[in-house]
Amino acid sequence: MSEITVAEVDVRRVRDQIVDVREDGEVAEGMIPGAIHMPLGQLASRAGELDRERPVVTVCRSGKRSARAAEELAAAGFQADTMGGGMIAWQNAGLPTS
């Protein structure tokens, strides 16, 4: 697991699985287009919905929860990275949300 930048995620989002681990109220403020909403508390039970053959990038508000999520997914056999700075950094960079 490594921490990657918002610019790297912007490039990788067309081929990788972006997993947003924030809660419902937080994602209402906007998500990375194409991201999969999977709150951290549901990650273990829903990880089977993800494609093990494709890399995963986890995202949260600031980067703390997504780092835990990436570690959890990596332990389960996924190639998982986390986006440094979270959605705060994404939005500060002026990148699109849906």
Q: Report the pLDDT value the prediction gives residue 74, as an integer from 0 to 100.
A: 97
| Nearest by Cα to 72 from 82, 83, 63 | 82
Q: Are the C-beta atoms of residues 66 and 37 closer than 8 Å to each other? A: no
Alpha-carbon span 27 to 8, nearest angstrom: 21
pTM: 0.95
Q: Are the C-beta atoms of residues 33 and 18 closer than 8 Å to each other? A: no
- The domain segmentation of the chain, as residue ranges, is 3-92
Strand partners, 57: 18, 81
Where residue 1 falls among pLDDT bands split at 50, 70, 90?
Answer: confident
**Is 60 marked active-site?**
yes
Q: Report the pLDDT value the prediction gives residue 63, as an integer from 0 to 100.
A: 87
Q: Are the C-beta atoms of residues 57 and 82 closer than 8 Å to each other? A: yes
pLDDT in tens, 38-71: 999 999 999 999 999 999 999 999 989 999 999 9
The CATH T-level fold of domain 3-92 is Oxidized Rhodanese; domain 1 (3.40.250)
pLDDT in tens, 2-29: 999 999 999 999 999 999 999 999 999 8
One of 27, 47, 57, 60 is an active-site residue; which one?
60
